[in-house]
């Protein structure tokens, strides 16, 4: 089988608002990204994935799209997007863009039309508008993933569904206008130069009968929330029973999309699904040969730093994707969760980076992860995430993972902007700037650079892994490389192992300290 570019690609996620500002308004933009493409090339990634930069009132970090075929002025314009695709390609980088098919922004023209039209009208049928059970009770008891009810009432008494913020009305995928509009959007970005898509909430587009109440299986009455999705013990029972996740109807949509992707032939367009499903076998349905190419495997991203857990999770995923002839993906951080250096600690994060970068499959790196950035701290008054507001502050939300990147200099805002950054950057990030880490041979940045270079040299195309140790110390062999990470609390002697240490997350001698990892070349 011919190997496709995405099978073993390293894909770097850019959160455009936080990456690099070029015009001093305190928010990152497309020109800023263009100015940093050489940094990404030198880091050694194969592709970038851009979180949304489309027209949006930005109530949910741009995942509330008001016009999916235009660039929001805060990020630039369509010419900038075109230029970004072109320049990225000149550097050998592919560009994956986000597509957000579960919902539009309430500022989208369709939703405005729907509000101005009558119950039952064609304009309302593009969304999920229903009468309530009575004048004050929504059609069912579904809860928004951001907290609070999933229904909002409009002036004439009807209710519309929003699985996320009330400014993100869910689209009705049984309506042909919706299907046609997204197909147009896919072609629009491909024609402009994009190489693929990350599909937001890809498991959510089809819904069960809205008229049935569903009580959540764990009795967490108001807790169908992102934090539940991060907790393995609660998440799984939950996911298997949600009436608006992973319904069979979603697959028809992706079969149609696949035909569009394939019509671009040698461009080798790829699509990766953001899915939260259970049991894991359900995930592989999204990568059947006539559907999508990858799905995000979030289990490792949320996993404890625990050898048994990691071994089980990784080995199961490797087996599962094989059934569909697909390749796995790995990630340690993204814009929706606590940064890995904060979640499992800076040392363990370095060790885990070496561990996942050795695995077969594709790896996603979230911007700033290569610097070892922890979550940003801020006062509650600085927070912007709708999760914070919809839960009345019970959950702090995701802003900590979205603090702008520190590039250079010794003073805040470290070269990110000449203005005031949209979220505060703390002075302690001085030691995390690209400039600072560039000069330090032991920095996280240089560890990632070396790992990506050695991965290309020794691991790409080297096939399956063989597990060597699956408890306490996790280790596997792939091609000429043995990857070891010490998850136990004791030093692990490597004196007898033979081979040459070509990469280590920490200073090592004859033993590998706890929370450290290495690559041995045999």
Q: Measured on CA atoms in the order 130, 136, 140, 145, is the torsion positive or negative?
A: positive
Please provide residue 198's backbone torsions phi and psi, each rounded to the nearest 5 degrees: -105, 120
Residues 6+ apart with CB under 8 A from 32: 19, 20, 21, 22
> What tokens appear for 98 in the block?
């986000």
Cβ at position 393, least distance to ligand BGC in Å: 18
Half-sphere exposure of 184 (CA within 13 A, CB side): 10
Q: How far is the CB of 189 from ligand BGC (least distance, A)?
A: 17
- Give the nearer residue to ligand BGC in terms of CB position, either 127 or 164: 164
Neighbours of 498 (CB within 10 A): 9
Phi, psi of 430 (to 5 degrees): -50, -40
Question: Is position 15 an interface residue for ligand BGC (rule: CB under 6 A)?
Answer: no
Selected binder of ligand BGC within 9, 96, 100, 317 (CB under 6 A) = 100
- Which of residues 85, 130, 164, 298 is near ligand BGC by CB under 6 A? 164
CB of 325 to ligand BGC, least distance (A): 26
Cβ neighbours, 10 Å, residue 441: 9
Question: Residue 380 catalytic?
Answer: no
- Check binding of 347 to ligand BGC (CB under 6 A): no
Strand partners, 484: 475, 518
Query: How many of the chain's residues bind ligand BGC (CB under 6 A)?
Result: 10
Of 39-78, binders to ligand BGC (CB under 6 A) are 60-61, 63
One residue of 181, 246, 336, 437 binding ligand BGC per CB under 6 A: 336
Q: Give the footprint of ligand BGC on residues 179-208 (CB under 6 A).
A: 200-201
| CB of 336 or CB of 437, closer to ligand BGC | 336
CB of 61 to ligand BGC, least distance (A): 6
Q: Is 399 in the site for ligand BGC (CB under 6 A)?
A: no
478 has which bridge partners? Answer: 481
Query: CA–CA separation, 490 vs 469, rounded Å?
Result: 15
Q: Give CA–CA dist 189/192, Å, rounded.
A: 5
Active-site residue (options: 165, 170, 195, 200): 200
Site string for ligand BGC, 456-475 (x = CB under 6 A): --------------------
Q: What is the number of the residue whose Cβ is closest to ligand BGC?
A: 63
| Residue placing its CB nearer to ligand BGC in the complex, 124 or 198 | 198
Report the nearest approach of ligand BGC to the CB of residue 264 (Å). Answer: 25
- Using CB under 6 A, pick the residue from 46, 274, 338, 437 that binds ligand BGC: 274
Calpha distance 76→53 (Å, rounded) = 9
* Active site (annotated) includes residue 183: no
Q: Does 314 bind ligand BGC (CB under 6 A)?
A: no
From residue 83, give the alpha-carbon distance in Å to each of 13, 77, 201: 18, 10, 28
**Three-state SS letters, 25-67:** CCCCCHHHHHHCHHHHHHHCCCEEEECCCEECCCCCCCCCCCE
d(CA 462, CA 470): 21
Q: Which of 274, 336, 385, 399 is flagged as catalytic?
A: 274
Which of 367, 402, 404 lies closest to 388, judged by CA?
A: 402
- For position 170 contacting ligand BGC by CB under 6 A, the verdict is no
Binding stretches for ligand BGC (CB under 6 A): 60-61, 63, 100, 164, 200-201, 274, 335-336
For the annotated catalytic residues, the residue numbers are 200, 274
């Amino acid at each position: 089988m011919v190997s496709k570019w995405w099978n073993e690609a390293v894909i770097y996620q850019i959160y455009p608002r936080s990456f690099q500002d070029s015009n001093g308004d305190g928010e990152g933009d497309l020109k800023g990204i263009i100015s940093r493409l050489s940094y990404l090339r030198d880091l050694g990634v194969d592709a970038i994935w851009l979180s949304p930069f489309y027209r949006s009132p930005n109530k949910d970090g741009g995942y509330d799209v008001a016009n999916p075929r235009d660039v929001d002025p805060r990020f630039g314009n369509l010419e900038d997007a075109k230029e970004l695709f072109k320049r990225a390609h000149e550097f050998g980088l592919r560009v994956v863009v986000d597509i957000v098919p579960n919902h539009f922004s309430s500022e989208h023209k369709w939703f405005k039309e729907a509000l101005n039209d009558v119950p039952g009208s064609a304009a309302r049928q593009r969304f999920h508008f229903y009468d309530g059970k009575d004048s004050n009770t929504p059609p069912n008891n579904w809860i928004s993933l951001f907290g609070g009810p999933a229904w909002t009432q409009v002036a004439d008494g009807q209710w519309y569904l929003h699985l996320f913020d009330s400014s993100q009305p869910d689209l009705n995928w049984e309506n042909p206008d919706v299907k046609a509009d997204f197909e147009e959007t896919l072609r629009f970005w491909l024609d402009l130069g994009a190489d693929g898509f990350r599909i937001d909430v890809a498991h959510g587009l089809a819904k069960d009968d809205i008229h049935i109440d569903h009580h959540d299986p764990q009795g967490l009455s108001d807790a169908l929330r992102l934090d539940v999705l991060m907790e393995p013990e609660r998440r799984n029972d939950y996911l298997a029973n949600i009436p608006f996740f992973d319904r069979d109807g979603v697959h028809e949509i992706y079969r149609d999309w696949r035909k569009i992707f394939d019509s671009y032939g040698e461009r080798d367009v790829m699509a990766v699904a953001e899915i939260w499903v259970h049991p894991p076998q359900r995930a592989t349905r999204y990568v059947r040969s006539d559907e999508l190419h990858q799905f995000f495997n979030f289990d490792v991203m949320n996993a404890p730093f625990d050898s048994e857990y990691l071994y089980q999770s990784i080995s199961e995923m490797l087996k599962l994707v094989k059934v569909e002839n697909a390749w796995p993906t790995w990630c340690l951080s993204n814009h929706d969760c606590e940064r890995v250096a904060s979640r499992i600690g800076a040392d363990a994060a370095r060790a885990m980076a070496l561990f996942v970068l050795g695995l077969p499959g594709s790896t996603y790196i979230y911007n700033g992860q290569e610097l070892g950035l922890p979550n940003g701290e801020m006062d509650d008054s600085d927070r912007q995430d709708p999760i914070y507001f919809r839960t009345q502050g019970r959950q702090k939300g995701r802003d900590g993972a979205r603090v702008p990147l520190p590039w250079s200099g010794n003073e805040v805002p470290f070269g990110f902007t000449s203005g005031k950054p949209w979220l505060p950057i703390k002075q302690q990030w001085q030691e995390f700037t690209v400039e600072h880490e560039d000069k330090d041979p032991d920095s996280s940045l240089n560890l990632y650079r070396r790992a990506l270079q050695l991965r290309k040299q020794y691991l790409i195309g080297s096939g399956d892994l063989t597990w060597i140790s699956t408890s306490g110390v996790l280790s596997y062999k792939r091609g000429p490389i043995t990857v070891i990470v010490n998850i136990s609390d004791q030093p692990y002697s490597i004196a007898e192992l033979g081979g040459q240490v070509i990469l280590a997350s920490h200073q090592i001698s004859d033993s590998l300290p706890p929370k450290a990892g290495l690559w041995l070349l045999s």
